[in-house]
Amino acid sequence: MDAHNETTAAVLDGFPASPARRPAGWLRRVSGDRAELIRYWPVVQNMVAQELRVRYQRSFMGFLWTLINPLLMMTILSLVFSNLFPTRDNYSLFILSGMVPWGLLSGTVVESTNCILGNEPLIKKIYVPKLIFPLVRALLNLVTTTLALGALFVLLIPLGARPTWPMLLLPVAMGLLFCFALGLALFVATANTFFRDCGHLVAVFMQAWYFATPIIYGVSDFPEAIQWRFWLNPAFYYIEIFHNILCDGQWPGMSLVATAAALAFVSLGIGYATFKSNEDKMVFRL
């Protein structure tokens, strides 16, 4: 019956010794992932482009909705808060410059919670690096945020928004925030694959974080003695950069940008490490 067992054994013996390979360190993984992402970049492009198209094809007013939502929010908040704090001038611009970048952060994180579970049919049928799912979510949010920021800024020109030189720094600020958000997204996507109720917690957490970050209020509304508490909030640095650039038209401080970059690096590092060390187990958990 097992007539060919010898053959198998012979094949086994004929195996050359495993060639000495460098240990699978993190540097190797990063470079491997880089190669994979380059190879699969058309997939990422396709997914982003087509998601955008589907999103805007099917809804009646398409892209306008992404504008109307923050616009309405801004109007409401402006009306309410300019009555509460009449001292603040140009409140709508202030709100815009905080809320739109926050949209990038919270949108990326909240949408990423479900990105592995939601793509289960794909993951189980064909190989794609799982890294691309959070990446696609983040890129999608980056695109919509950039568009919304541009369009809303143009709309606010009558209200006193003026293009200034520091705006040249906007791509850097966006890039840093993107990296920070992607790091969190990777972490959250991993956590939600193993603990399915993470999504709910994340949504609540993001809501709380929103109110803990100076977006609808300014840091200066607080007494100087307790302002340092905002430094504990990682999102504060990013929002502050956007406030500086868009609202005040100033160059953000060097230390502010450096802190934001460091935080982005840490977030991306933790997110990536978490994701990669659990990546192999994900398919069995779906």
Partner 1 sequence: MPRLSPTKTRWFFDSKGRNRGVRRDQAETDRPLIELRDVSLKFINYADKTFTIKRAFLQLLLRRQKPVPDSEFWALRNINLRIQRGERIGILGPNGAGKSTLLRLLARIYPPTTGEVSVQGTVAPLIEMGAGFNIELTGHDNILLNGAMLGFTRKQMLAKVDEIHEFTGLREFADLPLKYYSSGMYARLGFGVATSIDPEILLVDESLGVGDATFRKKATQRIRDLMGRSHAVILVSHEMSSLRELCDRGVWIRDGEIVADGPIDQVVRDYEAWTKLAQSA
140 forms part of the interface with partner 1 (CB under 8 A): no
Distance CA 207, CA 189 (A): 18
Binding pattern for the stretch 199-228 against partner 1, x by CB under 8 A and - elsewhere: --x---------------------------
All residues at 6 or more sequence positions from 134 whose CB lies less than 8 Å from its CB, including other chains: 112, 115, 182, 185, 186, 189, 275
Q: Yes or no: say if 147 and 56 are a contact pair by the CB < 8 Å rule.
A: no
Which of 26, 30, 39, 211 forms a contact with partner 1 (CB under 8 A)?
A: 39
In the bound complex, what is the minimum distance in angstroms from residue 285's beta carbon to partner 1? 6
Which residue number, 47 or 138, has a Cβ lying nearer to partner 1?
A: 47
285 forms part of the interface with partner 1 (CB under 8 A): yes
Q: Yes or no: say if 233 and 210 are a contact pair by the CB < 8 Å rule.
A: no
Region binding partner 1 by CB under 8 A among candidate stretches 9-17, 89-97, 103-111, 239-247: 9-17
Distance CA 186, CA 278 (A): 11
Quick count: other Cβ atoms within 10 Å of Cβ 224? 8
26 forms part of the interface with partner 1 (CB under 8 A): no
Which residue number, 117 or 147, has a Cβ lying nearer to partner 1?
A: 117
Task: Return the residue matching tokens 């791509």.
Answer: 171
62 forms part of the interface with partner 1 (CB under 8 A): no
In the bound complex, what is the minimum distance in angstroms from residue 206's beta carbon to partner 1? 16
165 forms part of the interface with partner 1 (CB under 8 A): no
Distance CA 106, CA 209 (A): 9
Region binding partner 1 by CB under 8 A among candidate stretches 62-70, 88-96, 104-112, 126-134: 126-134
Count of all residues that appear for the chain in the document: 286
Q: Yes or no: say if 134 and 112 are a contact pair by the CB < 8 Å rule.
A: yes
48 forms part of the interface with partner 1 (CB under 8 A): no
Longest dimension (CA), the chain: 91
By the criterion CB under 8 A, which residues form the site for partner 1? 1-5, 7-8, 11-12, 15, 18, 21, 24, 32, 34-36, 38-40, 42-43, 45-47, 50, 54, 58, 121-128, 194-198, 201, 280, 283-286
